[in-house]
């Protein structure tokens, strides 16, 4: 049985693209948040039934509720990322990203009167024992989003369901919306505006010499065709080409963000951090907005990929923000999302 990290760890926006984790010195900043829910919110278990699986989830509500309120389904990004936004890889002894951004986002949204549900992927925890990794596809994760939206739409406490996908989750949410998920709007935070392979290639250009990069590109093409790559690549690159990942990667490689967003019939909010070192304003967010002119694009001036305030776009300077669960997300992310949802008709 392979671990969750072998299925998801090095797709699109993975730990591979965050440099120097092992040497990162994590310092809790003066402005911090706790890692437990504040008194302003109420949290409870909210499992999502998806086919034969039950995905563990957390429902976050305002401490005081009067009548129906909107609910956001938070869809996590790539890698072994749990419902809170932290990486979980049993058996791996090295440092892993732990920004805790989805938990923080849920708390801040609740303080704005917006409920949310965040859930663990099918490739985490006990569900990993119930699935066959090699048969797990991109479509399976899209179907999980659809299942969550259906369940929330039948919950009498909520007035509308909004899909909020972050990073890779933005693509999953978008495809779910286009396949009929029972939602009234979609939010794409730090989402890709390009296909997967060009983004992975771009990320690797910062870390590999030209010959190794060329060998990787050739090996990936062979891998996606169903062949066995012959290149002798570094271990981190070979994990991208693990046979158990092939079905997922074949589906992910077909995801075409501009085509998908052009088809969507729901209101769309695109949120992009100006200091995001993994997706960019020009190559991703603006491309999405151009493909769907009805969408609203909001740029958060200092936000990085994990929704925290950075001093610049260089990933090397942002590592502590990926590792510190107590550093706060930028406040504008929750206020922007809440205001947009409340203005929906």
Report if residue 141 sits inside a domain: yes
**The pLDDT value given to residue 234:** 79
**The pLDDT value given to residue 340:** 98
pTM, two decimals, is 0.91
Residues 6+ apart with CB under 8 A from 10: 16, 79, 236, 239, 240
Report if residue 231 sits inside a domain: no
**The pLDDT value given to residue 5:** 36
Alpha carbons 181 and 169: distance in angstroms, whole number:
14
Report if residue 71 sits inside a domain: yes
**The pLDDT value given to residue 16:** 36
C-beta neighbour count of 13 within 10 angstroms: 28
Give me the phi and psi of 307, to 5 degrees please: 70, 25
List pLDDT tens digits, range 84-125: 999 987 777 778 899 999 999 999 999 999 999 999 999 998
Residues 6+ apart with CB under 8 A from 109: 60, 72, 115, 116, 334, 337, 338
Report if residue 251 sits inside a domain: no
Supply the DSSP string of 165-232, one letter for each residue.
EETHHHHHHHHHHHTT-S-SEEEEES--SS-HHHHHHHHHHTTS-HHHHHHHHHHHHHHHTT------
The sign of the torsion formed by the CA atoms of 98, 119, 188, 138 equals: positive
Report if residue 15 sits inside a domain: yes
How many domains does the chain divide into?
Answer: 1
CATH of the domain at 103: 3.40.50.1820
Report if residue 229 sits inside a domain: no
Full residue range of the structural domain in which residue 88 is found: 4-19+28-203+257-342
**The pLDDT value given to residue 85:** 96
**The pLDDT value given to residue 31:** 65
Report if residue 243 sits inside a domain: no
Report if residue 326 sits inside a domain: yes
**The pLDDT value given to residue 232:** 79
Q: Which residues of the chain have pLDDT under 50?
A: 1-28
């Amino acid at each position: 049985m392979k671990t969750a990290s072998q299925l998801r760890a090095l797709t699109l926006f993975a730990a591979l693209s965050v440099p120097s984790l092992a040497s990162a010195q994590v310092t809790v900043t003066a402005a911090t948040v706790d890692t437990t829910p504040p008194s302003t919110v109420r949290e409870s278990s909210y499992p999502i039934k998806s086919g034969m699986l039950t995905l563990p989830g957390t429902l976050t509500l305002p401490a005081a509720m009067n009548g129906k309120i909107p609910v956001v389904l938070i869809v996590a990004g790539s890698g072994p990322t749990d419902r809170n936004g932290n990486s979980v890889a049993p058996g791996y002894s090295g440092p892993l990203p732990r920004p805790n951004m989805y938990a923080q986002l849920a708390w801040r949204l609740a303080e704005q009167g917006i409920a949310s549900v965040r859930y663990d992927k099918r490739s985490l925890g006990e569900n990993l024992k119930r699935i066959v990794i090699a048969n797990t596809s991109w479509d399976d994760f899209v179907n999980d989003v659809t299942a969550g939206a259906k369940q929330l739409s039948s919950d009498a406490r909520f007035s509308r369901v909004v899909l909020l996908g972050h990073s890779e989750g933005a693509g999953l949410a978008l495809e779910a919306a286009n396949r009929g998920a029972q939602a009234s709007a979609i939010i794409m935070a730090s989402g890709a505006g390009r296909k997967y392979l060009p983004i992975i290639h771009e990320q690797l250009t910062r870390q590999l010499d030209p010959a190794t990069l060329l060998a990787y590109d050739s090996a990936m093409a062979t891998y996606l065709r169903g062949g066995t790559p012959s290149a002798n690549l570094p271990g981190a690159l070979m994990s991208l080409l693990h046979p158990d990942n092939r079905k997922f990667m074949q589906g992910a490689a077909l995801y075409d963000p501009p085509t998908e967003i052009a088809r969507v019939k729901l209101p769309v909010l695109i949120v992009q951090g100006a200091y995001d070192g993994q997706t960019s304003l020009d190559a991703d967010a603006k491309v999405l907005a151009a493909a769907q002119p009805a969408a609203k694009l909001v740029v958060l001036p200092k936000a990085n990929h994990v929704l925290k305030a950075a001093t610049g776009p260089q990933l090397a300077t942002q590592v502590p923000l990926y590792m510190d669960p107590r550093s706060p997300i930028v406040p504008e992310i929750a206020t922007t999302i809440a205001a947009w949802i409340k203005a929906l008709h």
